[in-house]
Amino acid sequence: MKYYKTTTEFNCGVDLHSERMYMCLMNREGKVLVHREINGNDFTYFMKLVDPYKHDLTVTCECTFNWPWFADACHAAGLKFILAHAFYLRTITNGKHKNDREDSKELADVLRTNRIPPAYVYPKARRAIRNLLRRRISFVALRAHLLGHLQCEQMVQGLKPVKRKQSRFRDSWFDKLMENYDDPDVKMSAEADMFMVKAYDDAILKLETRLLRHAKDEHSREFQILQTVPGIGEILALTILYEIDDIHRFPTVQDFSSYCRLVKGTVASAGKIKGARGGKMGNGYLKWAFRQAAILGKRDQSYMKRFAQKLEYHHGKHVANAVMANKMARAVYFMLHSGKVFDPIQFTGYRDMKKKVA
């Protein structure tokens, strides 16, 4: 775990909530200078309280759902802001008494003593497009749930399921499905599901159009480089591109793999490994993207399938998919750093590609 090292004389911890915040400001020796609750999240009043110290001040708050507005306000006011990783920040939960006042004081104290685990502050200018991508992913999941319900309802009624094609044009499939139902209530349920499916289709198409246009206009080179990896198409390339933001924020490839949730930590004691931990530390969207790419890649290219079979022989199928995903993430890291396209020989180690493809 890496910690932020403060360089300022004054440090402020803020326990941020939806309608109020509690702030505590300390000097480097740990003396509390300001300790106050601010109703209505009044940032103007917050600035009034910290004004005598803002020339040499660092502010921190936990990575809660509403941190962006506070981070943006601090940056606009010229304050140094550090976002504390809520998952790693266990210190504030260890006290006998836990409340907003104590939490803000503990945040200021761990910042002062260089024990703040920092999280990445996604830039404001690109945050909206990243959130747009995440909305698309959530809409796709909701649409899949509805389509699954339509498919399963046929079996609930004891009917032979009408085969559904993977296409946005589902009217013919829906018409055949409706012909099988006699009960008007069952028909109404199916019509309601299909109405929502079509609504999601329209919304997802609009989001995809906007995302693709933005990627081609603003990140054309990186977008094209990512699509040279077998298994990575437009949607996975968008996910990887916007979830990474800037590949240079990862000092090493190990840091990147860890952030992608593709490697786990270990628990060891007395020289013995007791188990693994940290499987949910990192970015779940990147883990999903590289896992999908690993599965799709061996379907698209015969040499990738041969390489996957080699990994399955040594590790088993489930572990082989994880190994393949990790190797893809490592390849993407170096590709984005160097600006080069995917090299199948370097990835697989096969020198005679023609022989392996055949």
Which residues of the chain carry a pLDDT beneath 50?
A: 356-358
Q: Do 254 and 337 share a domain, yes or no?
A: yes
pLDDT at 91: 64
Q: Give the count of domains, the chain.
A: 3
Q: Do 273 and 201 share a domain, yes or no?
A: no
Q: Is residue 2 part of a domain?
A: no
Q: Do 153 and 171 share a domain, yes or no?
A: yes
Q: Do 195 and 288 share a domain, yes or no?
A: no
State the Cα–Cα distance between residues 205 and 134, nearest whole angstrom.
Answer: 14
Q: Do 86 and 133 share a domain, yes or no?
A: no
State the Cα–Cα distance between residues 24 and 150, nearest whole angstrom.
Answer: 54
Q: Do 193 and 288 share a domain, yes or no?
A: no
State the Cα–Cα distance between residues 32 and 26, nearest whole angstrom.
Answer: 4
pLDDT at 220: 95
Characterize the bridge pairing of strands 80-84 and 57-62: parallel
Q: How far is CA 190 from CA 57, 140, 202, 208, in A?
A: 59, 19, 19, 26
pLDDT at 318: 81
Burial 16-31 (b: 16+ CB within 10 A, else e): beeeebbbbbbbeeee
Q: Is residue 106 part of a domain?
A: yes
3-state secondary structure of 136: helix
Estimate to the nearest angstrom the gap between the alpha carbon of 177 and the chain centroid.
37
142 membership: H or E segment, kind and range: helix 124-156
pLDDT at 358: 45
Q: Is residue 99 part of a domain?
A: yes
Q: Which domain holds residue 188?
A: 126-218
pLDDT at 317: 81
Q: Is residue 192 part of a domain?
A: yes
Q: Do 352 and 242 share a domain, yes or no?
A: yes
Q: Is residue 223 part of a domain?
A: no
Q: Do 135 and 94 share a domain, yes or no?
A: no
Quote the pTM value.
Answer: 0.89
State the Cα–Cα distance between residues 94 and 224, nearest whole angstrom.
Answer: 48
State the Cα–Cα distance between residues 280 and 260, nearest whole angstrom.
Answer: 10
pLDDT at 171: 85
